[in-house]
Structure 1
Amino acid sequence: MAVAAALAVGLIVGLVVGWSGKAHAEACGPAPKAGVGSADEWLGRIHEEPDNISVLVDNGVGGVAERRGDEQQPIASAVKVVHLAAYARAVAAGTLDPQERVPVAEWERWYLPGTDGGAHEHARSRLPGDSVTIAEMVSAMIRESDNATPDYLRNRLGDQALIDAAAAGGWQGFVPPSLLGMMIRLSEPGVDAWAAAQRYANDPLYRVAVQSRPIPSFDAQLAWVETTHAASARQLTALHRSLATGAFGAGADIARAQLEWQEPPAGYAAIGFKGGSLVGVLTDAIYLRRTDGTVATAVLLNRRMPGETWLAAMKELREQELLFQAMVEPAALAQLTCAL
């Protein structure tokens, strides 16, 4: 049985403008009860977890709520926005054809079953057939949060393309990760992640051996998560904001077309999102483009979540509702500031 550590967050849900808002008063009062079942409960969690939850919300019209914006934390699949940015730059430069067809077998050389919460299988249900376009693979990376596409793109474009794309979006010092290699390292501690990923992609016998390994214990996975790729809320914010505003440069529109696949709320031009999750880790990065050209962004990084809390949070995803409201409602932003 393959290792099973990651559950990817590919959808933004619960963006209900009619948030209950019990707690958002004019002045800071007692913190709400901590939990993950509602936006108000997330305010309580954020208040109680100052060392494990980083938040950076910028409503684009002068309002900012921030805590630990520069601290590095595991970000799971949220890192895929960098791979998207590198893809978009390559397409804009004419060095990569988004309509090039890739055999599914080539795509799946980078796929380790059982490690992405079913993301790849869901993507294949949406994209049937023996081949897919590169643009379709990228859509699977963003929508379903497929883990095979990022390593395919890294292998195809090279590390410098990822580093340069991150820098173009204001994220300096980016170190390219291997999501496949990261998973292999869970069951093979100490291995070089990218070397292991390349071996997996090119050595069928090694691939079978990796897929046959037992699932490591929950405690082992919690320790491993602390060693996975990390970023700050400010780094993720910078890249999302640069893509949303166009400050990223050539390819921004191509990246936006992938990030903005969901219908925006009424009265807004677009919403873009890429989240992610690993055991005990939950990450959200959202931007909202208004019709007047202003852009709001919201990033939340949560680590070291107890198992039951993490599973419940993954089911509810109510923190997304909280972040959305903080981007659009001054009172909600003020209440979030109180919680920080």
Structure 2
Amino acid sequence: MYLLLWIVFAGIVFFATIPLVSKKNRTRWKITQAIITTVSVILAIIMIEFLHIVPLIGIVFVVIFSFLTDRSTYTKVGLIITGVVVILIAAGAYYVFHDDPDFVQNYIDNHPDLASIHLTVDGETVLSQQGQVKRPLASVVKTIIAIEYANQAAKGTIDPEQSVPLAELDKFYLENTDGGAHPSWLEEMRAAGHIVNDSVPLHQVAKGMIRYSSNANTDFLIEKLGTESINLVIEQLELENHDPIYPLVSALLASNYLNDQHDGNYSNSELEEMLRSLSMDKYRELVWEIHGKLEQGETDFFSQPVSVPMGLQQVWSDRLPNASAEDYAKVMQAISNNTATVPGGEDILRDVMEWPMELHASNRERYAHFGAKGGSTAFVLNQALYVEDHNGKKIELIIFTEGFNFIEQIKMNKNMNSFMSEVIDRHFSTD
């Protein structure tokens, strides 16, 4: 997913080691410099790929070590330049990473074309900015699938304890495309002893779709539950601006599939144009065709790992199911009021959605109920949640944002939780 960054890192290693080809340059300092630079790049890659840190931190890490291994750094002029660079990096890091919940509110206020917020307290709307505008949902859409899962479990159509072979989930897993969500979920399943004979209970698959946002689990559940049943939930909850739901993973492979059908002769820009020119009905048909290929194990049109250029990721992100913040206020309110499912599905759905109550003891102390689903791509950051305090007061908060630049994206990710916490605390503290 970071192909350009890896090329830059490879270039840094190349220019640090190429002088060693000449025998006269193989001094102890030059060799040490090449080793330290190479090690710093390897460590940066490990931090980005396996610890999922922001790429900017890895870049800064490599830059700092490059300065420290440059002999000119230790001259008088070099020390002055280094000092200035360190101050600038520190100032930039403080701006980007310090706690600043107001940044989220300012982004929403200053970008009405790119952001929506909707807040309800005890069933009454107290704030709605661009609440009726349709925006890409990203993984927030998985809430609808969770509702239908709870419906079918309550009706006995499916068995929550059914063992699902991991191989069935692997059909829909694309390596390095989900920020480590699916591997992290599998790691927890192994640690908790839920994996038996390479299978996991269906209920844990649903929980992994919500808590970890596993796209593989999502597309498996879409196949298992049936798209007609899932999309019927949209009608039952009277969501006026909600697009039909379709597979997420298969959509990410649309460009690979089209290119393979035409012998790989299309450029990325041509593929972008082709995908954007398709009507949404035709686009969804294409995605379902790809989904069928994956379900049958026919994967010859792509190879792992998948690398999707940013332009094509933008098409994928834009064409994910859209809905409004008002729609998801209805969804969260229905879950909170136990009206989202058929009778008997309430507790099943809460067990799937209320993972924040399991995650932090402080949430159990503050709230009687707390359910949430976030969603993000490289271009979108969304949150939808409901909370109920121990006095029975209820809040639903929906935030849909998109269109930010790289720095804005970092700050939005860094401050979204603290902003939501401020909003919730402010309204719980008022009578």
Give the number of the structure whose residues are more often helix, by fraction: 2
Change (3 A) 1:101 1:223: closer
| Length, aligned pairs only | 300
Of 346, 350, 356, the match for 1:252 = 346
* 1:280-295 → structure 2 map (5 Å cutoff): 280-295=379-394
Alpha-carbon separation, structure 2, partners of 1:309 and 1:259 = 28
Of 131, 140, 145, the match for 2:213 = 145
Amino acid at match of 2:217: T
Query: Is the Cα–Cα contact under 8 Å of residues 186 and 221 in structure 1 kept in the other structure?
Result: no
SS of 1:286's equivalent in the other structure is strand
SS of 1:50's equivalent in the other structure is coil
Query: Is the Cα–Cα contact under 8 Å of residues 88 and 255 in structure 1 kept in the other structure?
Result: yes
Q: CA deviation at 1:176?
A: 1.5
1:159 aligns with 2:227: yes
Alpha-carbon separation, structure 2, partners of 1:322 and 1:292 = 23
Alignment partner, residue 278 of structure 2: none
TM-score, length-normalised on structure 2? Answer: 0.64
1:229 aligns with 2:321: yes
SS of 1:45's equivalent in the other structure is helix
Of 37, 49, 70, the match for 2:111 = 49
Alignment partner, residue 114 of structure 1: 176
Query: Is the Cα–Cα contact under 8 Å of residues 175 and 304 in structure 2 kept in the other structure?
Result: no
Change (3 A) 1:249 1:137: closer
Alpha-carbon separation, structure 2, partners of 1:200 and 1:157 = 17
List structure 1 segments (4+ residues) > 6 angstroms apart after TM superposition: none
1:329 aligns with 2:397: no
Q: CA deviation at 1:268?
A: 1.9
Alpha-carbon separation, structure 2, partners of 1:174 and 1:290 = 32
Amino acid at match of 1:140: G
Alpha-carbon separation, structure 2, partners of 1:123 and 1:213 = 19
Query: Is the Cα–Cα contact under 8 Å of residues 116 and 133 in structure 2 kept in the other structure?
Result: yes
Query: Is the Cα–Cα contact under 8 Å of residues 111 and 148 in structure 1 kept in the other structure?
Result: yes
Alpha-carbon separation, structure 2, partners of 1:49 and 1:331 = 27
Q: CA deviation at 1:114?
A: 1.5
Q: CA deviation at 1:225?
A: 2.1
Alpha-carbon separation, structure 1, partners of 2:256 and 2:407 = 23
Structure 1: unaligned runs, 5 residues or longer: 4-33, 334-340
Query: Is the Cα–Cα contact under 8 Å of residues 174 and 304 in structure 2 kept in the other structure?
Result: no
Amino acid at match of 1:275: G
Identity %: 23
Change (3 A) 1:176 1:205: closer
Alpha-carbon separation, structure 2, partners of 1:295 and 1:170 = 21
Query: Is the Cα–Cα contact under 8 Å of residues 110 and 201 in structure 1 kept in the other structure?
Result: yes
SS of 1:211's equivalent in the other structure is coil
Query: Is the Cα–Cα contact under 8 Å of residues 76 and 283 in structure 1 kept in the other structure?
Result: yes
Q: CA deviation at 1:120?
A: 0.3
Q: CA deviation at 1:213?
A: 7.1
